[in-house]
Amino acid sequence: MKTIRIGSGAGYSGDRIEPAVELAEKGEIQYLVFECLAERTIAIAQGAKLKDPSKGYDPLLADRMRAVLGLCHAKGIRIITNMGAANPAAAAARTREIAQSLGLHGLKIAAVTGDDVLAELKSGGHRIEETGAPVSSMADKLVSANAYLGAAQIVEALKAGADVVITGRVADPALFLAPQIAEFGWAMDDWDRLGKGTVVGHLLECAGQVTGGYFADPGVKDVAALARLGFPIAEVSEDGGAVITKVAGSGGAVTAATCKEQLLYEIHDPSTYLTPDVIADFSRVTFIQEGPDRVRVAGATGRARPETLKVSVGYLDSYIGEGQMSYAGPGALARGRLALEIVRERLALTGVKATELRFDLIGVNSIHGEALSTADGREPYEVRVRVVGRTDSLKEAVRIGNEVETLYTNGPASGGGATKSAKDVVAMLSALLPRGLAKPAIAYVEA
Amino acid sequence: MKLRDIAHSRTGDKGDISNISVIAYDEADFPLIEAAVTPERVKELFREVVHGEVVRYALPGIGALNFVMQKALGGGVTRSLALDAHGKCLASALLDLEIPDRAS
């Protein structure tokens, strides 16, 4: 039976680069996939593209391509990535430049576009999922709207001989499902196989998170050599059978336990995992450790794909201002609490208009509030106060950090290390768009 | 004993929704975990953090539970004022839960 090996070269935009090089060098893979697009990244990228039409793709695209393009070209490894973000065409052009600068020839690069549905969303009577409000009611605040496309265009580009496929917003598992469909000739309505291919994509999409990254808990769950963590490889066969593994000798571990944590990562109802390609069912998935760092995954199935596409809507929501300062030594906690009281009173006294405020003691209660953080009577040696608030203007947000900073000369004794910041907030909401309204397209450039 | 003695966990985020897995090291402990870690207990534990409903899904085939918690992330990662905007630390807080010892 035909088998292919797919490597996962990145789990997010800022991820390490050497594990991808290791995969290309020693992974005996045919496909190297880079998943680099978080929910909000595309809205930020849209902002960058507005300022400069040649930008708006992943900031590490050039570094990644320089690191792997030569190796992949020499070994016939095909690259699939969503590093196109808000501008797949510019990303493809940049990749061609890098290929040329490396002296590579005969490289076909595909850019998948059409996920940008801002115009379609604005013109119809569509509603925001979370609030039920019509999209039109927030028209002047909208920054971006990108539909999650499926595997179809990536499959088409691979069949057309593309060596590199660069997309914008595509469902993460689709990046991994596409080479399986293209290689094995699965039908786009073979729901069972698409479900199996999707679980493989879901396990690989966060790269190191299935090979022991984000898993270690010393003394309870130990993981070896995290500084040299190897990224995952899926060995997939035509019938949808799959083994998760990694490069021999690399750091980390692939075990049934690492796979179980990743299976449930960012999923809701395990029997109904919605993607543009299939409604996958992970509820009966099982893992069998077949050997060291080799785990067989079985039992995923699927049902007919949804008729609508999920759209991530980016909008200008508000502004956030923040200030922090540290206290240490005897009485640090009391001075920290006093500092927070002072800032609380100052914000009221000076009339700072915040719609929401938080007063945190970092190291004491800043993560889960007072009730969960009950002290056993001991005081921390050091504490860092943090005041953060939401406002309707940047000018107002700046005032929050200022009230923390002025504690230097006006607050409790021995406060140090003040920092402050103010920023605008592009927040995300969702909408559902009838699938026919998105118009995916593919453009090719050759190096 | 603590839940951490027999289970491990990871938190994920999507929009304003947080999900926490609870996975038995030994699948034989799954019924004990299922009985002890109810959605009501999780909702009570996170009362200062989670402001929406908590739904639990069971995956007996791998000895795991998945808790899906609405309105848990201050409006979502990008607009949250929280230090841990993704809610990633919630998993370790859940593992601190006291549960009945195995019947010996």
Per-residue pLDDT, A43: 84
DSSP letters, B30-84, are HHHHHHHS-HHHHHHHTTTT--S-EEEEEEGGGTEEEEEESS-STTSTTT--SSS
Name residues 428-447 of chain A within 8 A of B (Cβ). Answer: 428-430
The answer, yes or no, to whether residue A375 has pLDDT greater than 60, is: no
Q: How far is B19 from chain A (nearest CA, A)?
A: 6
Specify whether the CB–CB gap between B18 and B12 falls below 8 A. Answer: yes
Judge: A260–B16 Cβ closer than 8 Å, yes or no. Answer: no
The answer, yes or no, to whether residue A374 has pLDDT greater than 70, is: no
Judge: A257–B23 Cβ closer than 8 Å, yes or no. Answer: yes
Q: Which residues of A touch B13 (CB under 8 A)?
A: 266
Print the SS3 string covering chain A.
Answer: CCEEEEEEEECCCCCCCHHHHHHHHHCCCCEEEECCCCCCHHHHHHHHHHHCCCCCCCCCHHHHHHHHHHHHHHHCCEEEECCCCCCHHHHHHHHHHHHHHCCCCCCEEEEEECCECHHHHHHCCCEECCCCCEHHHHHHHEEEEEECECCHHHHHHHHCCCCEEEECCECHHHHHHHHHHHHHCCCCCCHHHHHHHHHHHHHHCCHHHHCCCCCCECCCECCCCHHHECCEEEEEECCCCEEEEECCCCECCCCHHHHHHHHCCCCCCCCCEECCCCEEECCCCEEEEEECCEEEEECCEEECCCCEEEEEEEEEEEEEEEEEEEEECCCHHHHHHHHHHHHHHHHHHCCCCCCEEEEEEECCCCCCHHHHCCCCCCCCCEEEEEEEEEECCHHHHHHHHHHHHCHHHHCCCCCEEEEEEEEEEEEEEEEEEEHHHCCCEEEEEEC
CA dist A339 and A336 (Å) reads 5
- Lowest pLDDT segment from A44-58, A281-295, A392-406: A44-58
Structure-model confidence comparison of residues A364 and A347, the more confident one: A347
Q: Is B100 helix (H, G, I), strand (E, B) or coil?
A: coil
Tell me the pTM: 0.95
Average pLDDT over residues B13-32: 96
Judge: B81–A320 Cβ closer than 8 Å, yes or no. Answer: yes
Per-residue pLDDT, A444: 98
Average pLDDT over residues A344-353: 97
Judge: B77–A39 Cβ closer than 8 Å, yes or no. Answer: yes
- The pLDDT tens digits for B45-81 are 999 999 999 999 999 999 999 999 999 999 898 899 9
Per-residue pLDDT, A309: 97
Per-residue pLDDT, A39: 80
Place of tokens 């002025």: A406
CA dist A55 and A86 (Å) reads 8
The answer, yes or no, to whether residue B104 has pLDDT greater than 70, is: no
Name residues 345-364 of chain A within 8 A of B (Cβ). Answer: 356-358, 360, 362
Q: What is the ipTM of this complex?
A: 0.96
Q: Which residues of A touch B9 (CB under 8 A)?
A: 261
The answer, yes or no, to whether residue A148 has pLDDT greater than 70, is: yes
With pLDDT > 90 as the criterion, what percentage of chain A qualifies?
89
CA A424 to mean position of chain CA atoms? 20
Full strand arrangement of the beta sheet holding B7-14: B7-14, B17-24, B64-69, B54-59
Domains of chain B are 3-96 (3.30.70)
Judge: A267–B59 Cβ closer than 8 Å, yes or no. Answer: no
Judge: B10–A264 Cβ closer than 8 Å, yes or no. Answer: yes
In degrees, rounded to 5, the angle at the alpha carbon of residue A193 between the alpha carbons of residues A188 and A195 is 95
Per-residue pLDDT, A44: 86
A371–chain B Cβ distance below 8 A for any pair: yes
Among candidate residues B5, B21, B3, B92, the one with its CA nearest the CA of residue A258: B21
CATH architecture of the domain with residue range A315-430: 2-Layer Sandwich (3.30)
Per-residue pLDDT, B49: 92
CA dist A407 and A145 (Å) reads 42
CA dist A209 and A440 (Å) reads 31
Per-residue pLDDT, A377: 66
Residue A414 sits at φ, ψ, to 5 deg, of 60, 40
Per-residue pLDDT, A370: 77
Q: How far is B43 from chain A (nearest CA, A)?
A: 13
- The pLDDT tens digits for A26-75 are 999 999 999 999 887 888 898 889 899 999 999 999 999 999 999 999 99
- The pLDDT tens digits for A302-346 are 999 999 999 999 999 999 999 999 999 999 999 999 999 999 999
Per-residue pLDDT, A277: 98
Q: How far is A119 from chain B (nearest CA, A)?
A: 23
Average pLDDT in chain B: 95
| CA atoms in the 13 A half-sphere facing the CB of A148 | 24
CA dist A391 and A357 (Å) reads 9
* Interface with B, mutate which of A301, A368, A383, A423 (most B CBs under 10 A): A368
Task: Take residue A401 and report the two structure tokens written for it.
Answer: 């950090």
Judge: B61–A299 Cβ closer than 8 Å, yes or no. Answer: yes
Specify whether the CB–CB gap between A282 and A300 falls below 8 A. Answer: yes
CA dist A56 and A83 (Å) reads 10
List chain A domain ranges.
3-114+149-306, 315-430
Q: Which residues of B touch A283 (CB under 8 A)?
A: 57, 59, 61
Beta strands A31-34; A78-81: pairing state: parallel
Per-residue confidence at A139, pLDDT binned at 50, 70, 90? confident
Per-residue confidence at A124, pLDDT binned at 50, 70, 90? confident
Average pLDDT in chain A: 95
- Most confidently modeled of A222-236, A356-370, B89-103? A222-236
- The pLDDT tens digits for A125-135 are 899 998 899 99
The answer, yes or no, to whether residue A118 has pLDDT greater than 70, is: yes
In degrees, rounded to 5, the angle at the alpha carbon of residue A46 between the alpha carbons of residues A44 and A52 is 110
Taking the CA atoms of A46, A47, A53 and A55 in sequence, report the sign of the dihedral they define. negative
Residue B96 CB-density burial (10 A; 0-12 exposed, 13-18 middle, 19+ buried): exposed
Average pLDDT over residues A346-351: 97
Judge: B48–A370 Cβ closer than 8 Å, yes or no. Answer: yes
Per-residue pLDDT, A157: 98
Specify whether the CB–CB gap between B48 and A369 falls below 8 A. Answer: yes
The answer, yes or no, to whether residue A418 has pLDDT greater than 80, is: yes
- The pLDDT tens digits for A185-221 are 999 999 999 999 999 999 999 999 999 999 999 999 9
- The pLDDT tens digits for A19-28 are 999 999 999 9
The answer, yes or no, to whether residue A240 has pLDDT greater than 60, is: yes
